[in-house]
Amino acid sequence: MQLQLNNKFSSELPADSNETNVTRQVLNACFSYVNPRVPSNPKLLHVSEEVAELIGLSTEEIQSQDFLDVFSGKKILAHSKPYAMAYAGHQFGNWAGQLGDGRAIVLGEIEHNNQNWMLQLKGAGSTPYSRRADGLAVLRSSIREHLCSEAMFHLGVPTTRSLSLMLTGDEVLRDVMYNGNAEYEKGAVVCRVAPTFIRFGSFELFSAQNDIENLKKLADFTIKYYYPEIQSEGKEKYISFFKHVAVKTREMIVHWQRVGFVHGVMNTDNMSILGITIDYGPYGWLEDFNHEWTPNTTDREHRRYGFGNQPDIALWNLLQLANALYPLIEEASPLEAILNDFQLQYENDYSQMMHEKLGLSLQSKSDERIINELEKVLLASETDMTLFFRELGRIKKDHSPGCAIAIIDDAFYKPEEIKKEILKEWEKWFKTYLSRLNKESLSDEQRKEKMDAVNPKYVLRNYMAQMAIEAANNDDYSLIIELQELLKNPYQEQPLFEKWYAKRPDWAKEKIGCSMLSCSS
């Protein structure tokens, strides 16, 4: 297997001088060398061929024994020395101190077609950052990460990618709902791929340790390779860096809100410095439109990471990053200005995105009301977000409000229970919307085409991932393949897969793994 290794991160940044694999506090280091655990009986379940191509692997190479050995953790890539990355973070709003890769191990960094990629095995065994946990991952969470990262990519959402999904052949003990019912599950590893896995928390670590020298080294490294457009020097350089990260983060959040993705654990250690979606844990997809919804049962009480809170949390996380970078800037006002700008710009971006979802190319003063009123009626009638927006594209300018409701009413979860007053609200909303559509110059067909490009038809609904998991637990991996294929073209009509264009079935409403997920993985 030929991979073009360059190991930039590990050759240019400071390593932990201690190479023993023992849980500990690590100082003055960006990473610790550690080898993946050798799995007892690895089995390849799925490879994303596009990711393989991205890193320069051929179809033959994917099928080789070498591929199985390397991406299961059995064998180390020649000329590479694997390592776990150090970082800290704020979890659920509280400072958590050192975290680091407790079960992720970077196998190597490569270059292909002038692009840099880090290859990281998740679930590859304990590291100095494992704290009290085992360093392993189970099949269910690995399937969720593998499927969702690729689905997000094809939706056009910035994300880490997933190369491969493998069983390790070992069993892993997990208490899924943290209620004293631990059981053995199948162990698995995923190889995830991204330009880098540096996080907000990577900077917070050095700042908290008052290690300004390494804070600067890490910032300089990140700018040099990932924000090369930044040419300024001195404190201006770091202000510009922060600004770039804020913009990337904002763009990512707008995408999340557009497709109805709820990350579930937006801790600062789960925020990529590149503004890409990272760490697929108890994430979920909105079914009925609801700003408060979160799939994460650990967060049920406060709903800190609920759908509608994601922009505010991104801002809060950026504030923590600003604090971490402060020693390189020593001036608060430029950072505050960037944070303020995030808020203002986010509102513009959100409005623009909703205009696109609604098929409105012109901007009119009254549009904000249309958007706000829509969110209210969607919530009041338990409406499936994906179905609603996709069906909305079928409405024609000369339709009556009643006809329009008939087009979208498949999106209602309980059509028979919708009260008369709410239907009146829908009629009112459609009346305004239809008259607004009639001010647009695009034809119905042209508008539909534009709307279909931003309103996906197929997303990885929570129950779909769960079905793939249940089948895989019975050694049937066909759904993983089917869903991967389906989600490669989320905006296109796929008549053969029409069955996946459906609301959440009743059985999935309160099911563990569907609407209820924990951090256990």
Could you say which of Mg ion, ligand AMP, none residue 265 binds, taking C-beta under 5 to 8 angstroms by partner kind? ligand AMP
Q: Per DSSP, which regions of 352-431 are E strands?
A: none
Could you say which of ligand AMP, Mg ion, none residue 249 binds, taking C-beta under 5 to 8 angstroms by partner kind? none
Distance of CA 9 to CAs 51, 124, 126, 162, 204, Å?
21, 20, 21, 20, 18
Q: How many residues bind ligand AMP (CB under 6 A)?
A: 17
Residues 6+ apart with CB under 8 A from 460: 147, 148, 151, 285, 483, 487
Q: Kind of pairing, strands 94-98 and 284-285?
A: unpaired
Which lies closer to ligand AMP via its Cβ, residue 126 or residue 207?
126
Chain residues 280-339 in contact with ligand AMP, contact rule CB under 6 A: 281
Q: Which helix (H) or strand (E) holds 259?
A: helix 234-259
Residue 386 beta carbon to ligand AMP: minimum distance, rounded to whole angstroms: 26
Residue 93 beta carbon to ligand AMP: minimum distance, rounded to whole angstroms: 14
Residue nearest to ligand AMP (CB): 102
Binding mask 276-295 for Mg ion (x = CB under 5 A): ---x----------------
Please tell me whether residue 207 adopts helix, strand or coil conformation.
helix
Chain residues 217-276 in contact with Mg ion, contact rule CB under 5 A: 270
Residue nearest to Mg ion (CB): 279
Distance of CA 210 to CAs 90, 214, 215, 257, Å?
17, 9, 9, 36
Binder among 240, 270, 298, 317 for ligand AMP (CB under 6 A): 270
Please tell me whether residue 277 adopts helix, strand or coil conformation.
strand
Alpha-carbon span 280 to 148, nearest angstrom: 8
| The token pair that represents 275 in the structure block | 């503004």
From 29-37, 39-47, 263-271, 345-353, give the range in contact with ligand AMP by CB under 6 A.
Answer: 263-271
Residue 254 beta carbon to ligand AMP: minimum distance, rounded to whole angstroms: 23
Residue 99 beta carbon to ligand AMP: minimum distance, rounded to whole angstroms: 4
Residue 87 beta carbon to Mg ion: minimum distance, rounded to whole angstroms: 9
Residue 484's nearest CA partner among 250, 163, 85 is 163
What amino acid occupies position 336?
E
Binder among 150, 204, 279, 287 for ligand AMP (CB under 6 A): 279
Q: Indicate which residues carry an active-site annotation.
A: 269
Residue 189's nearest CA partner among 69, 58, 57, 33 is 69
Could you say which of Mg ion, ligand AMP, none residue 406 binds, taking C-beta under 5 to 8 angstroms by partner kind? none
Which lies closer to ligand AMP via its Cβ, residue 14 or residue 102?
102
Q: Does 86 bind ligand AMP (CB under 6 A)?
A: no
Are 293 and 309 within 8 A, CB to CB?
no
Which lies closer to ligand AMP via its Cβ, residue 240 or residue 298?
298
Q: Does 135 bind ligand AMP (CB under 6 A)?
A: yes
Could you say which of Mg ion, ligand AMP, none residue 135 binds, taking C-beta under 5 to 8 angstroms by partner kind? ligand AMP
Are 397 and 430 within 8 A, CB to CB?
no
Could you say which of Mg ion, ligand AMP, none residue 16 binds, taking C-beta under 5 to 8 angstroms by partner kind? none
Q: How many CA atoms lie within 13 A of 518 on its CB side?
A: 10
Alpha-carbon span 130 to 136, nearest angstrom: 10
Q: Does 136 bind ligand AMP (CB under 6 A)?
A: yes
Unique residue bearing structure tokens 């979160």: 294
| The token pair that represents 423 in the structure block | 């239907």
Chain residues 92-121 in contact with ligand AMP, contact rule CB under 6 A: 99-103
Q: Does 134 bind ligand AMP (CB under 6 A)?
A: yes
| Interface residue list for ligand AMP (CB under 6 A) | 99-103, 129-130, 133-136, 265, 269-270, 279, 281, 519
